[in-house]
Amino acid sequence: MSEMTAATPQLLRRVSAGAVLDFMRASEAVTVTEVMQSTGLTRATAISVCEDLMERGWIRELENQRAFGGYQKGRPARRFELNERAGYVLGMDVGVSKATVVVSDLRGMTLGRSSQPFAGAEISAQERIAVIDRTAMTALHSVGAAPESVLAVCAGIAAPVDRHGNVLAAQHFWGLFDVGLKAALKDLRGWTVLLENDANLAALGDRWRGAAAGVDDVVVILASERFGSGVIDGGRLLHGSGGGAGELAFLDMVEGVGDTFGIATLARVWAGEALAGRAKTSLREHAREGAEAEHVFAAAAAGDAVALQILDRLADRMARVIGAVATVINPELVVIGGAVANSAGVLLGPIAERLTEFTATPPRVAVSPLGDSIVTVGAVRCALDYVEKNTLDLELSVPA
């Protein structure tokens, strides 16, 4: 073994600490014996590593078992657990009209949330950054967390982002999100910021805590206002050379589709067209405010003929979209995500019935249970991945 690859004591200790932390993240309170069994470390090394991690603030020692009553022979077992409040991560969903930020602990539990609107789509980069920063600070304040305790931030934007975090600003709309957010928040708050496409984060989020849990080949389609998709192939998120993997602009050329408008948009438009005519429908109760997707789904559930016809058109459109995606990518599962997913379950049966007309490799189809939180859930997962990969290089603002 060369000097370049020799296992130095420092390297071995680092590997041991990483193994202990990985075990702690997947467990509740554990004893030294359980650490030894999981990692293969000797008792002396396991105790030494745990004490070092405890001193640095990453784990904490619990009261021994005698504190819970009852006599025990011998030395009480030392028990440790992950200090999930050692620091925090932020998950951001930066859309056209608003920014949403969630604060999560190191086990991925959401502790606080804030949303604030942008003054308009064409505001300056400085104005957009100011709103995002203000939203983040409001979310942190809601849980009593200091900015210095943030270990990583992930922001999802409605534009392609390559694997290095660079925005593909090849269109004017995408360019609206190329505002220098990483550098700005680093300067303002000292934060490490990861940028990612919102649909890619939706895929990460749903695979973590949604309908795609445990599935290695999945496409998650954000389907509310416009279609966008994130692709996981063999357990790996796909980006493409410039971050454009999963973009669905090709739907403009798919027969029976012709655009990238999503379920919420089409339900609203088609309901408006029906209301402009003489059709008898309960949707007229919402005519003044404008019938939205949720009105269409509710009316269909009550048996309204016009609403049922709209749902049939939506199912046909979704079957064509999913068929095109399945033909190109061949996933095991396609998940419909976004706020509209709360109502879209009724479309699953009709979509499945028609899929074989549009692809020779029909996938399973599901709706995400994460609703409009799907992007922030994925953003939290992305930020946690960064922290877990770099834990031993991070310093806590207030170590134990």
- For residue 86, the model assigns a pLDDT of 96
What's the chain's average pLDDT? 93
| pLDDT tens digits for range 112-156 | 999 999 998 889 999 999 999 999 999 999 999 999 999 999 999
pTM of the model: 0.93
Same domain, 226 and 336: yes
Q: In this model, does residue 269 exceed pLDDT 50?
A: yes
Q: Is residue 400 part of a domain?
A: no
Give the mean model confidence (pLDDT) for residues 188-202: 98
Same domain, 191 and 238: no
- For residue 7, the model assigns a pLDDT of 67
Q: In this model, does residue 178 exceed pLDDT 60?
A: yes
* Number of structural domains found in the chain: 3
- For residue 399, the model assigns a pLDDT of 52
Same domain, 262 and 345: yes
Q: Is residue 189 part of a domain?
A: yes
Q: Is residue 141 part of a domain?
A: yes
Give the mean model confidence (pLDDT) for residues 177-186: 96
- For residue 377, the model assigns a pLDDT of 98
- For residue 286, the model assigns a pLDDT of 78
* Residue at which a domain ends, from 65, 82, 99: 82
Same domain, 54 and 77: yes
| pLDDT tens digits for range 92-104 | 999 999 999 999 9
- For residue 191, the model assigns a pLDDT of 98
Same domain, 240 and 220: yes
Domain residue limits at 35: 9-82
Q: How far apart (Å, rounded) are the C-alpha atoms in residues 287 and 275? A: 7
* Residue at which a domain ends, from 55, 82, 109: 82
Q: In this model, does residue 378 exceed pLDDT 60?
A: yes
Q: Is residue 304 part of a domain?
A: yes
Q: How far apart (Å, rounded) are the C-alpha atoms in residues 369 and 350? A: 19
CATH number at residue 55: 1.10.10.10
Grade residue 2 by pLDDT with cuts at 50, 70 and 90: very low
**pLDDT > 90 in the chain, percent:** 87
CATH number at residue 363: 3.30.420.40
The answer to whether 158 and 227 have CB atoms below 8 angstroms apart is no
- For residue 271, the model assigns a pLDDT of 94
Q: In this model, does residue 64 exceed pLDDT 80?
A: no
Q: Is residue 4 part of a domain?
A: no
Same domain, 23 and 116: no
